[in-house]
Structure 1
Amino acid sequence: MSEVTEINYGPLKEFIGVWKGDKGMDIAPESDGTEENPYYETITFEEGGDLTNGEEQVLAVLHYRRIVKRKSNDGIFHDETGYWMWDAKENVIMHSLNIPRAVSLLAGVKLTDANYKNGKLSIDISAGIENNDWGIVQSPFMKEKALTKNYRQVIEIENGKMTYAETTMLDIYGREFEHTDKNELILQS
């Protein structure tokens, strides 16, 4: 019989469950200006267990899926999936995400005591095309037409409430554009 050990999800334990929010605002580029989309969403974080890389690095893993719908027509306009990973030894959180526009990224941040204050977890995680550690991969079409240059997400979780502000710097329609999303979600289960 093998020994059963509990997985150390570290700060990611705060994420586990189903989160819903209806206060979202998406500010996105249009060829002739800017589009604002009020939205609601569901993000589901499921325990993925742990894994070992190179017989040395141990990661606790959450799988997630994020579905975002416009309030105006209930149509899905964003479907994202990926993983959140915790490296307890290095005190690093990693976030890999994929969207069906042929864009993927791996963001990361090393946590400090400042990320935990009065029962609140705050994470500021980022990736960039010129970042050697935390990068962005995209198809040739996206590189030419809608290049994602940088990604940043600031998340706060406290007492079953999650807020986030996400900024994606794009080179699109012949100009740079700061695409933003923000929302407040409540833990359902």
Structure 2
Amino acid sequence: MKLIGSLTSPYVRKARIVLAEKHVGYTFELDVPWNDDSQVPDYNPLGKVPVLIMDDGTSVFDSRVIVEYLDSVNPVSRLIPDGNRRRIAVKRWEALADGICDAAAAIFLERKRSKTQQSGQWISRQQKKVEGGLEAAARELGDRKWCDGNAYSLADIALGCALGYLAFRFPEIKWRENFPNLAELSDRLEKRPAFMETAPQD
């Protein structure tokens, strides 16, 4: 298998971490979809990363679809529980974490536009989503070690990638000070080999 993606995307990082945690062999092809010579649209008509290329050439895109497929490939270290209630809880965490990333990425892209083209109202709206997402994550995590209780799961991977992206792109957001339990979870996750090997970089 081959994974196509960038070194900054939290969605690509999520897929890479799942591949590592599941011990699935693959090759990583670096491709930034914003570049004029990007080949990403050849594999994903939406022009987004990550894209997983199967051995038969079939492309799988959207990080949520990719990680769900990968969790079924190898029974070792299941990251999405089998029970419907716990499964939905973990996928809900993933949706929350991805939503934080969506809003943060929207801010990042808006700020790349010229000052005269930027919309302060749009940025403010996305900032509220990030703040709301962090507040919800901290409240629901509480004093638990992991998002799903006592077991490490996709929920932790997704939230860890979101927090890592904020630390990377938005150091001005003081989520560590405001939400100590999220900081503790992030510190615990960033010590795992899969997280250390996929730290975002320009």
TM-score bucket of the superposed structures, by smaller chain: under 0.3
Which structure has more relative contact order (CA 8 Å, sep 6+)? It is 2
Higher helix share: 2
How high is the TM-score relative to the length of structure 1?
0.27
Higher strand share: 1
